Amino acid sequence: MSELNKIALKIICNGKGILAADESNGTMTKRLEAVSVASTPENRLLFREMLFSSEAMKDCIGGVILYDETIKQTSSSGKSIPDLISSVGSVAGIKVDTGAKDLANSSEEKITEGLDGLRERLKKYYELGARFTKWRSVYIINKKFPSKLSINSNAHALARYAALVQENGMVPIVEPEVLMDGDHDAELCLIKTSEVIKKCFEELVLNKVDLSGIILKPNMILAGNKSKNKISNEEVSQKTIECLKKSVPSEVPGIAFLSGGQSDIEATENLNLINKNNNTNFIMTYSYGRALQQSALKIWSKNTKDIKATQNTFNHRAKMCTLAAQGKWSIELENK
Ligand code: 13P
């Protein structure tokens, strides 16, 4: 087993999943201001440190994706944030892309940037304690999009990123996200997501990336958020498995879904059904941002001194997601 494969498995084995706490300062400011909390470096750290020192970290959270600001911050106990995370057996990760910018000659679409100087930045992040990384590409969807240009350019960037990350001893999370915005049906999402993922693997192979040392972070197959043809959770799970079975090479150890704007329960229930119906060898788990943090953030904003209530809320979500990652979740357990 390669070192990279071992790290990947440590992050996603035994129902463990990933806490995506890598919101950029811009996004985190939107999230905090939406619940009337000032977005200062201290408040951003306060909220995140509460999560990283909560009880669910040990059994549920195999890895935490950090943002550049957070990985350099020191916790109240004096430990660095990566040390705080690894002290409970979890793995610290870091978002390394520098964001999605307008794609030239297809300005409705985005290209993710961050390759310039990446090798040097990766070395610094490794020294700070990161052992895995994330790069997210985003794709709009309708009959016309994503275009070949966006699919090819983003796949190329993702593969060059992944090769550099492995060169530096870390596991790349490869995240091609087909957005849920729009009135498209689930069938179109299936077709476009499959095309996007297949192209990513074509480029990953071309760039000689060790597929046993990556984690794929895709969207689930859903109808658009404005679609009149919503499908059942059972259908979501079947279509998602169908897509991944056809598009992902078998060497890949695991798949960690993004929540992408699904409600907490929806993201949990869909993951649970995916695992119940999973007839592949892939580990299927979560790498949720909003679906793990949003409820805790709401509780915290009511009383920022109430650490216990905030952590209890996060613990519950993390436990529910970890049950779902093993196909053991139920609405009864959810409401208990
Ligand atoms: P969501 O689960 O909120 O979609 O965030 C996951 C993520 O890391 C997006 O890049």
Answer yes or no: 217 catalytic: yes
Q: Burial level of 259, CB count in 10 A (0-12/13-18/19+)?
A: buried
The hierarchical CATH code for the domain 3-334 is 3.20.20.70
For residues 189 and 241, is the Cβ–Cβ distance under 8 A? no
For residue 1, the model assigns a pLDDT of 77
For residues 158 and 135, is the Cβ–Cβ distance under 8 A? yes
Per-residue burial over 8-22, b = 16 or more CB atoms within 10 Å of its CB, e = otherwise: bbbbbeebbbbbbbb
For residue 276, the model assigns a pLDDT of 98
For residue 77, the model assigns a pLDDT of 94
Q: Among candidates 324, 203, 192, 193, which has minimal Cα distance to 269?
A: 324
pTM: 0.98
DSSP string, 297-336: HHHHHH-TT-HHHHHHHHHHHHHHHHHHTTT---HHHHH-
Q: Among candidates 124, 134, 121, which has minimal Cα distance to 91?
A: 134
For residue 300, the model assigns a pLDDT of 97
For residue 98, the model assigns a pLDDT of 98
For residue 221, the model assigns a pLDDT of 98
- Beta bridge partner(s), residue 93: 65, 132
Name every protein residue with a CB atom under 6 angstroms from any ligand 1 atom: 20, 136, 175, 258-260, 288-291
Question: Which residues of the chain fall below pLDDT 70?
Answer: none
- Beta bridge partner(s), residue 216: 174, 255
Q: CA 236, 242, 244, 247 torsion: positive or negative?
A: negative
What gap in Å lies between CA 125 and CA 43, rounded to an integer?
23
Residue in the structure block whose two tokens are 């790498």: 287
Atom index in ligand 1 nearest the CA of residue 258 equals 2
For residues 283 and 255, is the Cβ–Cβ distance under 8 A? yes
For residue 195, the model assigns a pLDDT of 98
Residue in the structure block whose two tokens are 């669910």: 56
Residue in 10, 110, 134, 217 annotated catalytic: 217
Radius of gyration of the chain (CA): 19
Tell me the CA–centroid distance for residue 336 and ligand 1, in Å: 27
Residue in the structure block whose two tokens are 């494969």: 5
Atom index in ligand 1 nearest the CA of residue 290 equals 3
Using CA positions, which residue lies closest to atom 8 of ligand 1? 20
What gap in Å lies between CA 276 and CA 269, rounded to an integer?
10
